[in-house]
Amino acid sequence: MEIIQILKEDYQRFPQNQTYSIYAPDVYFQDAVFKFRGVQLYALMINFIKTFFLNPQMDLHNIQSLGDTIKTEWTLSWNSPLPWKPRISIPGWSELRLNSEGLIISHIDYWNCSQLDVLKQHSFSFKNR
């Protein structure tokens, strides 16, 4: 199966049953909060989302392949496990780089908002209850 199709399916069922075999064992991951290397740590991060976020959802808006680079545009949303369960939303995009075997060796996420904007979503929902 083509990697673009696998990614589309992974986004659709995120964070359940992700396809870790498309990542190189030493994949580099970075987002606004984390920076690490290794597919096992990536799987642990996804498991953290699955365990502690309520109703996580990853909406894929666009995906395109440009040589050895894949760019995706998405929105990650979830209900925070606070008593008032605010719905949090992070729009962003990812740049995935492939090695010569077609495995993802770099996965860098960029947020279209700041970490402060994400924190504000928690308090805004509480004030407007």
**What are the tens digits of pLDDT across the range 96-128?**
999 999 999 999 999 999 888 888 898 755 555
Parallel, antiparallel, or unpaired for β 69-79 and 35-37? unpaired
- Domain with 20 in it: 3-127
Contact status, residue 69 vs residue 76, Cβ threshold 8 Å? no
Q: What's the total number of domains in the chain?
A: 1
What residues does 79 pair with on adjacent strands?
54, 87
**Which residues, 6+ apart, have CB-to-CB distance to 83 below 8 Å?**
none
Helix (H) or strand (E) holding 108: strand 104-111
Q: Check if the beta carbon of residue 107 is closer than 8 Å to that of residue 29.
A: yes
- The reported pLDDT for the residue numbered 128 is 53
Tens of pLDDT, residue by residue over 52-104, are 999 999 999 999 999 999 999 999 999 998 888 999 999 999 999 999 999 99
The enclosing domain of 102 has a CATH number of: 3.10.450.50
Q: Is the distance from CB of 86 to CB of 60 less than 8 angstroms? A: no
| pLDDT computed for residue 38 by the predictor | 98
